[in-house]
C-alpha cells in the first residue's frame, strides 16, 4: 500500500508573528519557516506504517513556491521515499489545494492519504475534508490512532469529551491530531540521504487545475494588547475592585 502525505510550509510555531505595517498580511521577511506541525505528525505516522510493513512507499507532496522544497527535503529526511512539489506562487486557497491533491492522488493511487488537521498559519481545517469529497472517499478527521487491517483503516478520533472509533474502507483520507504520535528528529545521515531522494516538480497546469482564488484577504490585525495587572493587599480590596471597577460581580 502506498501512502500519500500532504505537507505545508508555514511559519515556525516558535516564531512571534508580526503583522505588516499596512495590515495586508503577516510579515514573512526573514521569518523562520518549518513543516506545519500536524503535517509532521502525518509524515511520522506514514513512516511508522511503512516501518511496520503495512505501507510499501510514502510519497510526500506540497503545493507552493520553490521554497517548499526545503520542507519536502525535511520530510524525506524523516523517512518519506519521494517527493512532489506542485508549483504555486501565491498561497492557493484550500479548494485549489484540494483539487491539486485530488489530481496527484488520481495519478499515484495511494491506499491512504494523510493530511494535518489544520495548517497553523491559515487555521482553515478544511483541505482534508474537501479532498475526501472531491475523491468521493471515506474520511476521518482528528485522528489520535490509526490501525490498518484487512483493507480497512480503524481510526480513533478525538471528539469533545471523548474518543470515537471509525472503520473506513480504503482508500481513505485521514487528518492527524496532536496526540497521534511524537515525530522523530531527522538524523544527520538521513538529512544527507534525503538530498539524493527523488523530488519531482509539476505545475498545476500540467495537472489540469487552474489555481484561482475566490477568497481575498482583506486585513490582518494584532490581538489587542493586554493591560498590565495590579496587586491588591486584601480579599476585601479585590472584591471591591471586582464589584466597582471591573463590574464583573454584583
Q: Which is nearer to ligand AMP, 40 or 81 (CB)?
A: 40
Cβ neighbours, 10 Å, residue 84: 21
Please list, in sequence order, all residues whose beta carbon lies within 8 angstroms of the beta carbon of residue 217, skipping any fewer than 6 positions away: 24, 25
By beta carbon distance, the residue nearest ligand AMP is 116
Cβ neighbours, 10 Å, residue 132: 23
State the angle between helix axes of 127-135 and 94-108 in degrees (0 to 180), rounded to the nearest 10.
50
Closest distance to ligand AMP from the beta carbon of 9 (Å): 8
Cβ neighbours, 10 Å, residue 4: 27
Query: What's the distance, CA 36 to chain centroid?
Result: 5
* Integer CA distances (angstroms), 114 to 39, 66, 67, 173, in order: 8, 22, 22, 6
Q: Which is nearer to ligand AMP, 39 or 55 (CB)?
A: 39
- What dihedral angle (degrees, nearest 10) is formed by the CA atoms of 131, 132, 137, 143? 130
Nearest residue to 111 (alpha-carbon basis) of 144, 131, 137, 81: 137
Say if residue 220 is exposed, middle or buried (CB neighbours under 10 Å; 0-12, 13-18, 19+). middle
Residues that bind ligand AMP (CB under 6 A): 6-8, 36, 38-39, 62-64, 94, 97, 115-116, 118-119, 122, 124-128
Closest distance to ligand AMP from the beta carbon of 120 (Å): 8
Q: Which is nearer to ligand AMP, 97 or 146 (CB)?
A: 97
Q: Which is nearer to ligand AMP, 77 or 95 (CB)?
A: 95
Cell readout for 92 is: 492557493
Closest distance to ligand AMP from the beta carbon of 103 (Å): 13
Q: Which is nearer to ligand AMP, 12 or 240 (CB)?
A: 12
Write out the H or E segment, with its range, that includes residue 129.
Answer: helix 127-135
Q: Which is nearer to ligand AMP, 187 or 203 (CB)?
A: 203
Q: Which is nearer to ligand AMP, 128 or 183 (CB)?
A: 128
Q: How far is 8 from 63, CA to CA, in rounded Å? A: 7
Amino acid at each position: 500500500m502506498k501512502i500519500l502525505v500532504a505537507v505545508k510550509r508555514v511559519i515556525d510555531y516558535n516564531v512571534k508573528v508580526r503583522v505588516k505595517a499596512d495590515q495586508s498580511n503577516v510579515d514573512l521577511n526573514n521569518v523562520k519557516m518549518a513543516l506545519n506541525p500536524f503535517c509532521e505528525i502525518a509524515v511520522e505516522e506514514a513512516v511508522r506504517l511503512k516501518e511496520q510493513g503495512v505501507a510499501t512507499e510514502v510519497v510526500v507532496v506540497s503545493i507552493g513556491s520553490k521554497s517548499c522544497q526545503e520542507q519536502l527535503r525535511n520530510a524525506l529526511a524523516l523517512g518519506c521515499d519521494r517527493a512532489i512539489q506542485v508549483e504555486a506562487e501565491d498561497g492557493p486557497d484550500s479548494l485549489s489545494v484540494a483539487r491539486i491533491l485530488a489530481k496527484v492522488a488520481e495519478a499515484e493511487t495511494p491506499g491512504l492519504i494523510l493530511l494535518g488537521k489544520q495548517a497553523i498559519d491559515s487555521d482553515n481545517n478544511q483541505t482534508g475534508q474537501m479532498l475526501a469529497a472531491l475523491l468521493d472517499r471515506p474520511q476521518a478527521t482528528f485522528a489520535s490512532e490509526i490501525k490498518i487491517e484487512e483493507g480497512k483503516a480503524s481510526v480513533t478520533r478525538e471528539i469533545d469529551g471523548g474518543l470515537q472509533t471509525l472503520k473506513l474502507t480504503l482508500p481513505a483520507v485521514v487528518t492527524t491530531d496532536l496526540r497521534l504520535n511524537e515525530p522523530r528528529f531527522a538524523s544527520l545521515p538521513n538529512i544527507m540521504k534525503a538530498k539524493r531522494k527523488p523530488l519531482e516538480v509539476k505545475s498545476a497546469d500540467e495537472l489540469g487545475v487552474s489555481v484561482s482564488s475566490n477568497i481575498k484577504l482583506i486585513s490582518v490585525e494584532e490581538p489587542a494588547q493586554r493591560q498590565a495587572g495590579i496587586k491588591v493587599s486584601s480579599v476585601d480590596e479585590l472584591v471591591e475592585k471586582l464589584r466597582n471597577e471591573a463590574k464583573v460581580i454584583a
